[in-house]
Amino acid sequence: MSTDVLQTSSTPTWTPDPKDVILVTGAAGFIGSCLVKYLNEQGYEQLIVSDDFSRPDKWKNLEHKKYLQRIDREQLLDWLAHEGWEQPIRFIFHIGARTDTTEFNRAIFDRLNVQYSQQLWTYAVQRQIPFLYASSAATYGDGSKGYDDDHARIPELKPLNPYGWSKQQFDLWVLSQTATPPYWYGLKFFNVYGPNEYHKGRMASVIWHAYRQIQESGIVRLFQSHRPEYRDGEQLRDFIYVKDILKICVWCMQHLPPSGIYNAGTGKARTFYDLVKATFDAVGKPVQIQYIPIPEDIRNTYQYFTEARMDKLRRAGYQDAFSSLEEGIADYVQQYLVTRRYY
C-alpha cells in the first residue's frame, strides 16, 4: 500500500504569460537546453538560464533560444539573494547537476548535487516558488529494492556510485523538510536520450555512441554480460526520449499536481539489442554488433535492469503516451543526428 496520497489534477493552474519569469538551471546541458526550447515553444520566453558556461562546446545548445538573462552557476545564488531580477520568479526548474557516473570524488557531488540544491530549495521556500528538480534512477542501485517511487520505500534504496548517492541524499533531505515550497517535484529521470547531447562524450546516450560507430565502421560495440542470467545485449533499461521528459516537466508546472518524488520513465524496459537494432533501422543499415567487456571502473556498479513504476504519475493526472523506443530513436537519428541539428 502506497503511503503517498495523490489526487488527480487536470486543469492548468496558469498558462503562458510574457510576464512569467522562470529559472532553469543546467540550461546549457542536454536536458536543460531541450527544456528551454520546449518552454519557448509553449510561449515561455522570460527565462533566466544558469549553467557552467566555461565550456564552449555547450554554447550551441542555447543558440536560437529565447531568454532574458544568462547567469553563471557560481554567481546564481548571490544574484538571487540580491534581487537580481525585478520581476518575481514564478517557477524553478533545477535540472543542473554533476552527472558523471564515472566520477568518484564525493566532495564534487556533495557541493554541486547536494549543497547547491539545498540552497536553491531554501530560496524557493523563502520566496514560496514552486520547485522541480532532477533526481535519478541511479538512486535505485542494483534494483533489488524495486523501482517504486513510494516515499516510504525511498530510504531503503542503495545507489551504486557517488552520483547516485548524491541524488539519494538530496531526495532524503527533501523528504525530511517541514518547510517546503508551495509545490515541489523530484523527478527520477531514467535513461534519457535525445538531441543536444553532443558535448557529453563518454556520458552521452548509447544511441549517440551507436550512431557514431555505425557511421565510422558499420559495427556497434555493446557491453558483454558479466552475469549468467543475462545474455549479451539483453541487459534491460527503461529508455525515455527527452521530449517525453520535457512534457512531464512542463505538465508539472502547468497543472501543479500533488508535491512529491515521481519516476520519469516509460514503464517499459527494453534491451540494448533492441536499442541498437532501432538505431541501425533508422539509418537503413543491417545490424552488426560486437560485444566487448564492461570496463573495470564501472563493472561493479553497472545496472542490468531498470524499469520505472509509473502508477504514481498516472494517478496524479498525467495522461500523455510515451514514445516507443523505435519512435524516439527514429526521430532523434533522422531529425537531429543525421543533420547534426540541435533542438
Q: Do 96 and 73 meet the contact criterion of CB atoms below 8 Å apart?
A: yes
Catalytic residue among 163, 193, 332, 343: 163
Q: What is the pTM of this model?
A: 0.92
pLDDT tens readout for residues 194-253 = 999 999 888 899 999 999 999 999 999 999 999 999 999 999 999 999 999 999 999 999
pLDDT at 7 over 50: no
The single residue of 60, 145, 200, 247 carrying the catalytic annotation is 200
Is residue 13 predicted with pLDDT exceeding 60? no
Of residues 153, 165, 296, 163, the one with CA closest to residue 223: 296
CATH class of 21-193+240-267+306-322: alpha beta
pLDDT at 84 over 80: no
Which of the four pLDDT bands, split at 50, 70 and 90, describes residue 18? low
Whether the Cβ atoms of residue 177 and residue 124 lie closer than 8 Å to each other: no
Question: Quick check: 328 pLDDT over 50?
Answer: yes
Q: What's the pLDDT score for residue 216?
A: 96
Grouping H, G, I as helix, E, B as strand and the rest as coil, residue 82 is coil
How many other C-beta atoms are found inside a 10 Å radius of the C-beta of residue 178? 4
Please indicate whether residue 200 is annotated as part of the active site.
yes
- For residue 230, indicate whether it is catalytic: no
User: From CA 53, how far away is CA 51, in angstroms rounded?
Assistant: 6
**pLDDT value of position 87:** 78
Above 60 in pLDDT, residue 6?
A: no
